[in-house]
Structures are given as C-alpha cells and as structure tokens.
Amino acid sequence: MTRTDPEKNKGKQNTLDPSRRDWLFTAGVALNVAAGLLLAVPLIGFVFSSFVERKDPRSWISLGPLDAFPENATRIATYRNPYTRPWDGQTADIPCWVRRLQGNQFQVFAINCTHLGCPVRWFPESGLFLCPCHGGAYYEDGARAAGPPPRGLFQYTYKVENGALWVKGGEMPTLSNPV
C-alpha cells in the first residue's frame, strides 16, 4: 500500500473529483436559481398585465321570455356566467330568484344568503326565502326577516327588452359592488 504525502499535494486542487461539499453547494445554487425563476415569472406577469387590455365580461344576459314569469310569483332562473373557462362546467351556471311584481316590474335576487353565502330557497307557503345554514329568513321582497344575515338579499340589475327579461351578468351584487 502506498501512502501519499499530504505535503506534496498541498495547494493542488483535484478538479476531476469534486468533494461532496462542492456538489451540494452546486445543487443548492441550482435549486435557488430555479425557485427564483418560479417566483419571478408570475411577478413579471403581474407587472406587465396592466398593459394588456381585457374585455369587460359583464354583459346583458336573457333569463327568458316574460311569459315564463307570472305576476305575483317567484321563480328560479339560471343564466350562464359570461366570464367562464372551458373547465368550469356546471359551476358556470348561475341561479337567481326572479319575482315579477306586475307588468314589467321585477325583482331579481342573488341566490346567496347575505350572511355566509349559502343558497336560499323560496317557500311559497310561508312567503319566505329561507337559508338552510344558519336559519336566515327573508321576506318575499328580499328584506331581512330573521336570523344572522346583516341585510336583505342582493339584487341584480335587470331590464325588459324585446319581450324578454335581461340581467347584468358577470358581476355579483355585494356590499362592495352594489348594482
């Protein structure tokens, strides 16, 4: 067995056989560079997104002919959210409650409770919208009747045109965005 003299190899670097420390350092730098790039791509996209013009997804959407909504009655209607992606499927179908007062006067309510957003149901026997989650109740005109909801049901903007009822789709009526 031959021994190498450490004094003879002092000052020489062995470039062909990197140490474990050198390899781990290189791997760490590579992982940090990859992580930096993964974080930089969305940040760069966010910065430059303000230069891209987007079309307004809000549009008027027909809920159907006026004959589908009898006077003094509340019916559920569904429209397709204009701001959808191909993978949205049935979740892009937005239900709403339509109450026809008389003639061309309507109330179109969001289906969500104003407390935590659970879907409310209409009970014609009692003339109330009831929330199954925490017992919220609303009168037929959408005003708060009882329970934890802080206010009445949110209402959509609507119009009557060409014998059909239209709602402004693509926007959710909320306290921060009252329509």
Q: Which is higher by pLDDT, 145 or 84?
A: 145
Instruction: Please tell me whether residues 163 and 75 are part of one structural domain.
Output: yes
* Mean pLDDT of the region 69-93: 87
SS3 of the chain: helix, strand, coil, percent, to 5: 20, 30, 45
Instruction: Please tell me whether residues 64 and 24 are part of one structural domain.
Output: no
Report the b/e string of 99-124 with b at 16+ CB within 10 A.
bbeeeeebbbbbbbbbbeeeebebee
Does residue 143 form part of some domain?
yes
* Mean pLDDT of the region 149-158: 90
Provide the 3-class DSSP secondary structure of residue 7. coil
Task: Indicate the number of domains in the chain.
Answer: 2
Instruction: Please tell me whether residues 36 and 68 are part of one structural domain.
Output: no
Report residue 89's pLDDT band, with 50, 70 and 90 as the boundaries: confident
* Mean pLDDT of the region 139-165: 91
Does residue 2 form part of some domain?
no
Does residue 4 form part of some domain?
no
Instruction: Please tell me whether residues 99 and 113 are part of one structural domain.
Output: yes
Residue count (the chain): 179
| pLDDT > 60? residue 9 | no
pLDDT of residue 38: 93
Instruction: Please tell me whether residues 34 and 111 are part of one structural domain.
Output: no
Residue range 36-77, pLDDT digits in tens: 999 999 999 888 888 877 666 678 888 989 989 999 899 999
The four Cα atoms 84, 86, 89, 95 give a dihedral, to 10 degrees, of 20
**Average pLDDT value for the chain:** 84
Instruction: Please tell me whether residues 46 and 87 are part of one structural domain.
Output: no
* Mean pLDDT of the region 95-107: 91
State the residue range of the domain holding 77: 59-169
Residue range 135-149, pLDDT digits in tens: 899 999 999 999 899
